[in-house]
Amino acid sequence: MLLIHWPSPNDEVPMADYLTALKEVKAEGKACHIGISNFTCEQVDEAISILGKGEILTNQIEVHPFLQNRKLVEHCEHQGIQVTAFMPLAVGKVMEDPTLQKIADAHGVTPTQITLAWVNQRNMITIPSSTKARNIQSNIAAFDLVLSDSEMADIAMLDRQERIANPDFAPAWDE
């Protein structure tokens, strides 16, 4: 998969230029899929108009319990684009949250595992990173957890629009 990590700031490089280049590489058989990352709803729509419906596999965006990015997630789902949630653990903040800890205690697992199960249950892809084998195994085990509707609703209440990845070249985010 070829994935554009950020849209060009202020469209300095026109989206049509770089997305068309990716489409050409895919047409040559050098890639199977095209992905985008950190694209807003408006940018997703522009990308679809350039590439065509069904050409974008994923939009990789920041999603964690404290920034659920609902508008963009729903927009991507409506367009048939899979969401890949990055920073699902909010740089460790999920381990300190009382709600996530309470749910974790009820399942005999960690808040990290609850968060990964929540992402999975929302039909998003996530790629949690770790350098420790025990954490990797714990992350994998999280995908076997099933949270109740009540637990999912409790986690939904944690959204406070707390964006972590917000460099000065970021687009104007969807609210």
Residue 113 reports pLDDT greater than 80: yes
Q: What is the dihedral of CA 145, 63, 79, 12, to 10 degrees?
A: -150
Domain chopping of the chain, boundaries: 1-62, 89-162
Distance CA 57, CA 59 (A): 7
Say what percent of the chain tops pLDDT 90: 90
Closest to 64 in 3D by CA, of 163, 146, 175: 163
> pLDDT tens digits, residue range 32-90?
999 999 999 999 999 999 999 999 999 999 999 999 999 999 999 999 999 999 999 99
Closest to 15 in 3D by CA, of 60, 56, 57: 56
Q: What is this structure's pTM? A: 0.93
Quote the mean pLDDT of the chain: 95
- Quickly tell me which residue has 């790629």 as its tokens: 127
Closest to 122 in 3D by CA, of 167, 172, 85: 85
Pairing of strands 82-86, 125-126: parallel
